[in-house]
Chain A
């Protein structure tokens, strides 16, 4: 017999989609926290491993799950790090919104796999953050001198993340084929 979760006991219906979103979002949040503790040679440059989970969610379960996972990651991650509504939170949010928008537009294009989606999404993430930083926090043209370095990192990490998603999906399909 399946155990009844707390929300169910409280009379809230929990669908299998909810469980899937919660599981993937929890994974993304944990990766987000672990990454926040990593030192970086240039403040703000991060591998963005949590977004690997978002892309996996998109390719495996569709846009709706990916949007939930991507936004929950930012919200819950900021609550746990204590940065909710701080500048860092808004930078994080604008990056996530920009990359999710690019994913939403591009995931219907034929012939693209992980890297073809992850690289544009990572670069959109950086540009969304720079736009917010420029409009709101540092209205100085000098800010954009950092952009090429950040975009280079985005391209490399996006490529690596996209290839990782391809591996994950291939393995998942292989396992299902054997089962």
Chain B
């Protein structure tokens, strides 16, 4: 087998295929898979939001009203009566499995993922 730069002709074919697969993997990364957002208030499901339909939702909690906004396939906490505002600063959610909660007002938003068993196992 003759080799140029240490690679045979076959190696170059395999390498090209690997580069293509790699480009596809990076390209697939950009695609969102979201779809549905599940809104809960103190553990009870209060709404299922279709992320493709822009809307605003007001959820009542012990502190007052939390406002959620859906736009462009994403969802965020627009405003919250809580002190920390962590939920608002979490910004937009779009990826499947993403989760934000406002504990003071008991409101949580999670984007539906294909499988929901547990987060992770560690030892």
Contact = CB atoms under 8 A, between A and B. Distances in A.
Contact of B1 (A109, A113, A159, A167): A113
Given A116-B7, A120-B14, A148-B26, A111 B1 contact: yes
A148 B22 contact: yes
Contact of B114 (A110, A116, A141, A162): A141
B19 A155 contact: yes
A44 interface: no
Interface string B5-40: 011111111110011011001101100010000000
Interface in B80-123: 95-98, 113-115, 117-123
Nearest to A159: B15
Label chain A's interface by main secondary structure.
Answer: helix
B119 A140 contact: yes
A115 B121 contact: no
B117 to A, nearest CB: 5
- By CB atoms of chain A within 10 A, which of B7, B19, B29 has the most? B7
A140 B13 CA distance: 34
B3 interface: yes
A138 interface: yes
A145 interface: yes
25 contacts: A87-B121, A109-B10, A111-B1, A111-B11, A113-B3, A113-B10, A114-B6, A115-B11, A115-B15, A116-B8, A116-B12, A116-B15, A119-B15, A119-B18, A123-B21, A138-B121, A139-B115, A140-B120, A141-B95, A141-B97, A147-B29, A148-B25, A155-B19, A163-B6, A166-B6
Interface of B: 1, 3, 6-15, 18-19, 21-22, 25-26, 28-29, 33, 95-98, 113-115, 117-123
Given A111-B10, A148-B25, 12 more contacts: A87-B121, A87-B122, A111-B9, A113-B10, A136-B121, A139-B115, A139-B117, A141-B97, A141-B113, A147-B29, A155-B22, A163-B6
Interface of A: 86-87, 109-117, 119-120, 123, 136-142, 145, 147-148, 151-152, 155, 159, 162-163, 166-167
